[in-house]
């Protein structure tokens, strides 16, 4: 029986091994590095080999991952690799690729009920993307899973009030590194992954900002600039100190924060205080507060790193939940000061509205200036 297309541990030699074109290859002692090396070697060995008729699902996914490895970021490759690994753990990847059906994807998602709607949708898109790529490459004629529906995304549009932000900060004692994470997320509106990736080289002390090159920013089209307020700039100076390299934000162990470590800290806060939040809620809060304070949407979109205002209005304008704010705007639009009551119209003796005098509504009939009819 042929070995699966993944490294296996060679006990007698003490390293991960794989067979490439009938030859055993030493891939090293670290599994993750061995897996990457395997994809690289198989890409070199099989890049020009056409896909055989009746090739399995695993072949499509493997070739797609090789392409992603060469053409996308390392983070994207890791996410797609996890999606493919999860998929082949539930669905028989040895079946012919053309026999895969949307219900296979439905079964896969049903086997992972702990996934959020966003994770489930992203993973499903990965598998569909592999088949779309295979069609474009000419490996298959059409995708049999093109009609598979992405699960509806549940919005997590939580925006905190000032009192709730204070309660969150009070849940983290002074001196804990996570308190800085909260302060900068609330004060800059940056994405959590931007905070995790912020390094000393990104910090411009003279202008008080972080600048990520286009190649390191979301979308990779233009540099990402995060503006720091004076108090945050002072704190950033303290965090950086005399260092010339490395992450700006370090946890208690001296390691860089990750999205998982931040998520776990929020889970611990929930257990201790009952406050259920996620990191993006602080970004939502920043956008909502800025809109309420009169920030124009174009400038705010730039501050938050959006390409235009459409994402801002669709995902971050939580002002519609602030009834007091809506009332103030509605009253201003009506042309009177907020909080005032328009004067009531004088009532008739019957209480049915303004009194109408003889001049206000003439009686129906002959006009006063009309000539009298002759007998």
* pLDDT the model gives residue 107: 95
* pLDDT the model gives residue 132: 94
N- to C-terminal Cα distance for the chain? 121
* pLDDT the model gives residue 19: 81
CA distance 275 to 331: 34
* pLDDT the model gives residue 356: 46
Average pLDDT score, the chain: 81
* pLDDT the model gives residue 359: 47
Question: Per residue in 95-144, pLDDT tens?
Answer: 999 999 999 999 999 999 999 888 899 999 999 999 999 988 888 889 99
* pLDDT the model gives residue 355: 47
Domains, the chain, in order of start with CATH, read 8-137 (no CATH), 162-324 (1.10.443.10)
CA distance 266 to 277: 6
Digitized pLDDT (tens) for each residue of the chain, 375 residues in all = 344 467 888 888 888 888 876 778 888 888 777 777 776 676 554 444 555 567 899 999 999 999 998 888 888 899 999 999 999 999 999 999 999 999 999 999 999 999 988 889 999 999 999 999 998 888 888 999 999 998 887 666 577 888 888 888 999 998 899 999 999 999 999 999 999 999 999 999 999 999 999 889 888 888 999 999 999 999 999 999 999 999 999 999 999 999 889 999 999 988 888 877 888 889 888 888 888 788 888 888 889 888 777 766 666 555 545 656 666 667 767 765 555 555 555 555 554 544 444 444 545 555 555 555 544
């Amino acid at each position: 029986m042929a070995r699966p297309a993944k490294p296996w541990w060679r006990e007698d030699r003490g390293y991960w091994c794989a067979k490439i074109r009938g030859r055993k290859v030493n891939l090293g002692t670290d599994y993750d590095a061995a897996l990457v090396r395997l994809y690289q070697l198989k890409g070199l060995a099989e890049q020009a080999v056409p896909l055989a008729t009746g090739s399995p699902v695993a072949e499509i996914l493997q070739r797609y991952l090789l392409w992603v490895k060469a053409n996308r970021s390392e983070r994207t490759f890791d996410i797609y690799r996890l999606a493919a690994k999860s998929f082949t753990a539930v669905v028989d990847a040895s079946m012919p690729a053309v026999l895969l059906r949307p219900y296979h994807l439905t079964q896969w998602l049903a086997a992972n009920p702990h996934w959020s709607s966003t994770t489930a949708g992203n993973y499903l898109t990965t598998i569909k993307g592999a088949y779309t790529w295979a069609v474009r490459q000419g490996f298959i004629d059409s995708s049999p899973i093109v009609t598979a529906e992405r699960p509806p995304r549940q919005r997590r549009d939580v925006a905190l009030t000032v009192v709730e932000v204070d309660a969150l900060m009070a849940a983290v004692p002074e001196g804990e590194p996570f308190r800085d994470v909260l302060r900068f997320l609330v004060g800059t509106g940056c994405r959590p992954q931007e905070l995790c990736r912020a390094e000393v080289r990104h910090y411009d002390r003279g202008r008080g900002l972080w600048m990520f090159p286009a190649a390191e920013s979301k979308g990779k089209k233009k540099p990402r600039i995060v503006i720091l307020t004076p108090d945050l700039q002072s704190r950033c100076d303290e965090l950086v100190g005399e260092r010339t390299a490395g992450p700006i934000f370090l946890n208690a162990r001296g390691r860089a924060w990750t999205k998982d470590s931040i998520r776990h800290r929020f889970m611990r806060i929930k257990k201790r205080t009952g406050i259920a939040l996620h990191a993006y809620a602080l970004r939502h809060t920043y956008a909502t507060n800025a809109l309420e304070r009169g920030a124009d949407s174009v400038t705010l979109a730039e501050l938050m790193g959006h390409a235009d205002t459409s994402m801002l209005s669709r995902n971050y304008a939580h002002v519609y939940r602030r009834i007091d704010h809506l009332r103030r705007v509605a009253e201003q639009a009506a042309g009177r000061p907020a909080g005032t009551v328009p004067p009531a119209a004088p009532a008739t003796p019957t209480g049915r509205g303004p009194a109408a005098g003889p001049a206000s509504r003439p009686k129906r009939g002959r006009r006063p200036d009309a000539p009298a009819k002759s007998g």
